[in-house]
């Protein structure tokens, strides 16, 4: 090697010229050629345009490709020829393809086809443009309770479906959960070590560890061969814990330490790390993390119903519904009526009619108080505490469509994730209805009764007409925005304007879910990123590799 300045001979490892002191620019080493990529292109390049590598792991690699015939992006997982020559690895790869092919669910990455060309095994999956849950947690920090609840409910749906097909995933972890960029919907992937309860017994023997150490259940850590669906619920509880706190429940420094703690220690209470997590959510996760499988949730469906009931309107008992009616309908109307009676009484202090109406109203209030006390006592006998009764009584009523205090909203409420135009329309509509029933109608009756203040009546009418006109403008803008986001018809967008924000069965549907602004809300500000992220399909070379020992 020679110096460009003085042409002096230099040793190969030199970084500065020994003669003139000039800095020696060392050319960067060329990136090693991807031999597997070349083999893949030669094998199936006539069907797929291979774009780039998405991830690489112990069982092969995943490439982003474009399917030429159907003009769509796909992900191709490849088992290299050197691994395909090993019978066990070959059978496991085929089993992963067979397992994925049996599963058709909105929250499971679909498998399109499987192939073998010149000793190269591959299968083609749906491509999820977005990022893994692990990347989302690193980028945005912990989830809030409602964002985590919604995502976990979707994962419970996927696991419930897989378990009913007789398939146990056995490797639930943030890297194997993909979050679609547009809708924010989670998709479960990587069934490479999944177990079909009847057909795969010959591939898993006692003492063989299958899974990722930091996310293994105790029975997996012991190497038991009879790992069942409740093992997946334990792993999902570990994922949920990390989603809400940003930490794992066991502070392990090594995979072996993680396995040991799983068997000998109880997890740290979630509330001690993330104090703002909803109590019912923390309890649900705590039950997932019970060491004995018999003490966990019986199945994914039970956990999902606890996180987010399917039949939202039937979750309250009759006494609670009566209390809620009194608190959210009767009491506000009584207060408004009492206020206007006081105003009229001030104008007509000698009116006996007003006094009689006031006495009737007071008697009615006394009756409602007695009914409320009886219902509260009944609920206390059934085991509810006073704070819980009050929160349920004041909880967001079925008929309310506008803003409501966060701590009183129903489980699964998506208000904070609605498009801005929809929130503006709903908030203004709520204010307008409040004005009509609390101000416009009562004052119209008062001014007509008194036969005075015609100017006030005209101003009230002008305000009402102005409000209705603005409401129409906001509605039209919201409908246009929703159609642009979801591609739906005008009638569908208009119907969504009045859909309750807590009716999760509607908001979880794919076209509707695309309207929601992000699936999660971080408790800390997201780091600004200029480039979109793409999915790493669970083939990472991190510290949490799947262990097969």
- Active site positions, annotated: 171
Query: What gap in Å lies between CA 405 and CA 397, rounded to an integer?
Result: 12
**Pairing between β-strand 195-196 and β-strand 167-168 as defined by DSSP bridges:** antiparallel
Token pair listed for 205: 């023997």
Helices (H), 382-440: 386-393, 420-435
DSSP state letters, 440-453: IHHHHHHHHHHT--
Sign of the Cα torsion 272, 274, 280, 282 reads negative
User: What secondary structure, in 3-state letters, does 332-385 show?
Assistant: HHHHHHHHHHHHHHHHCCCCHHHHHHHHHHHHHHHHHHHHHHHHHHHHHHCCCC
Name the CA radius of gyration of the chain, rounded: 31
Angle between helix 145-164 and helix 279-288 axes, rounded to 10 deg: 30
Q: Are 328 and 395 spatial neighbours (Cβ–Cβ below 8 Å)?
A: no
DSSP state letters, 77-101: EEE-HHHHTSHHHHHHHHHHHHHHH
- Residue 73 φ then ψ, to 5°: -80, 140
Q: Are 548 and 194 spatial neighbours (Cβ–Cβ below 8 Å)?
A: no
**What residues are paired with 64 via a beta bridge?**
52, 75
Query: What gap in Å lies between CA 170 and CA 382, rounded to an integer?
Result: 40
Query: What gap in Å lies between CA 204 and CA 202, rounded to an integer?
Result: 6
Cβ neighbours for 138, distance < 8 A, ≥ 6 positions apart: none
Sign of the Cα torsion 334, 335, 337, 342 reads positive
Q: End-to-end distance of the chain based on CA atoms, in angstroms?
A: 48
Strand-by-strand arrangement of the 177-180 sheet: 130-132, 177-180, 186-188
- Report in angstroms the alpha-carbon separations of 319 from 324, 366, 375, 376, 379: 9, 18, 6, 8, 8
Query: What gap in Å lies between CA 389 and CA 368, rounded to an integer?
Result: 16
Token pair listed for 226: 């009879």
- Report in angstroms the alpha-carbon separations of 54 from 65, 82, 538: 10, 20, 9
């Amino acid at each position: 090697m020679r110096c460009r300045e003085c042409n002096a001979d230099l040793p190969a490892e030199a970084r500065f010229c020994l003669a003139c002191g000039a800095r020696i620019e060392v050319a960067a080493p060329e990136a090693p050629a991807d031999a597997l990529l070349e083999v893949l292109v030669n094998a199936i390049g006539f069907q797929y345009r291979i774009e780039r590598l998405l991830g690489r792991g112990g069982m092969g690699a995943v490439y982003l490709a474009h399917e030429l015939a159907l003009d769509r992006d796909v992900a191709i997982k490849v088992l290299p020829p050197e691994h395909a020559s090993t019978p066990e690895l070959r059978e496991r790869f085929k089993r992963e393809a067979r397992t994925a092919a049996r599963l058709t669910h909105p929250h499971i990455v679909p498998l399109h086809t499987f192939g073998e060309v010149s000793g190269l095994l591959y299968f083609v999956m749906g491509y999820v443009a977005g990022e893994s849950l692990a990347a989302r947690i690193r980028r945005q920090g912990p989830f809030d309770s409602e964002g985590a609840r919604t995502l976990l409910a979707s994962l419970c749906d996927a696991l419930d479906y897989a378990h009913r097909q007789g398939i146990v995933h056995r490797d639930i972890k943030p890297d194997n959960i993909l979050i679609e960029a547009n809708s924010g919907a989670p998709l479960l992937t990587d069934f490479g070590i999944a177990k079909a309860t009847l057909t795969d017994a010959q591939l898993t023997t006692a003492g063989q560890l299958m899974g990722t150490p930091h996310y293994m259940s105790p029975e997996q850590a012991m190497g038991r061969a009879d790992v069942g669906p409740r093992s997946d619920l334990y792993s999902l509880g570990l994922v949920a814990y990390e989603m809400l706190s940003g930490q794992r429940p066991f502070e392990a420094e090594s995979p072996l330490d993680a396995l040991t703690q799983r068997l000998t220690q109880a997890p740290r209470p979630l509330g001690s790390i993330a104090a703002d997590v909803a109590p019912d959510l923390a309890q649900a996760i705590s039950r997932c993390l019970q060491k004995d499988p018999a003490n966990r949730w019986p199945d994914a469906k039970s956990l999902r119903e606890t996180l987010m009931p399917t039949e939202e309107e039937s979750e309250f008992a009759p006494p609670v519904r009566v209390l809620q009616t009194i608190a959210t309908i009767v009491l506000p109307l009584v207060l408004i009526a009492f206020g206007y009676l006081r105003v009229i009484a001030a104008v007509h202090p000698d009116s006996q009619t007003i006094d009689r109406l006031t006495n009737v109203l007071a008697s009615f209030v006394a009756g409602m108080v007695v009914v409320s006390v009886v219902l509260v006592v009944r609920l206390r006998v059934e085991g509810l505490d006073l704070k819980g009764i009050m929160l349920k009584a004041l909880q967001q009523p079925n008929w309310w469509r506008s803003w409501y205090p966060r701590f009183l909203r129903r489980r699964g409420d998506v208000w904070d994730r609605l498009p801005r135009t929809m929130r503006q329309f709903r908030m203004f509509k709520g204010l307008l209805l409040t004005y009509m029933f609390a101000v416009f109608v009562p004052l119209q009756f008062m001014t007509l009764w008194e036969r005075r203040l015609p100017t006030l009546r005209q101003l009230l009418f002008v305000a009402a007409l102005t409000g209705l006109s603005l409401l129409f403008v906001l509605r039209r803008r919201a409908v246009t925005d929703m159609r642009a986001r979801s591609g739906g018809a005008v009638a569908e967008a208009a119907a969504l304007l009045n859909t309750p924000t807590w009716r999760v069965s509607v908001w979880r549907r794919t076209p509707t879910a695309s309207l929601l602004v992000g699936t999660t809300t971080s408790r800390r500000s997201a780091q600004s990123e200029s480039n979109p992220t793409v999915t790493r399909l669970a083939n990472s070379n991190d510290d949490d590799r799947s262990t097969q020992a």
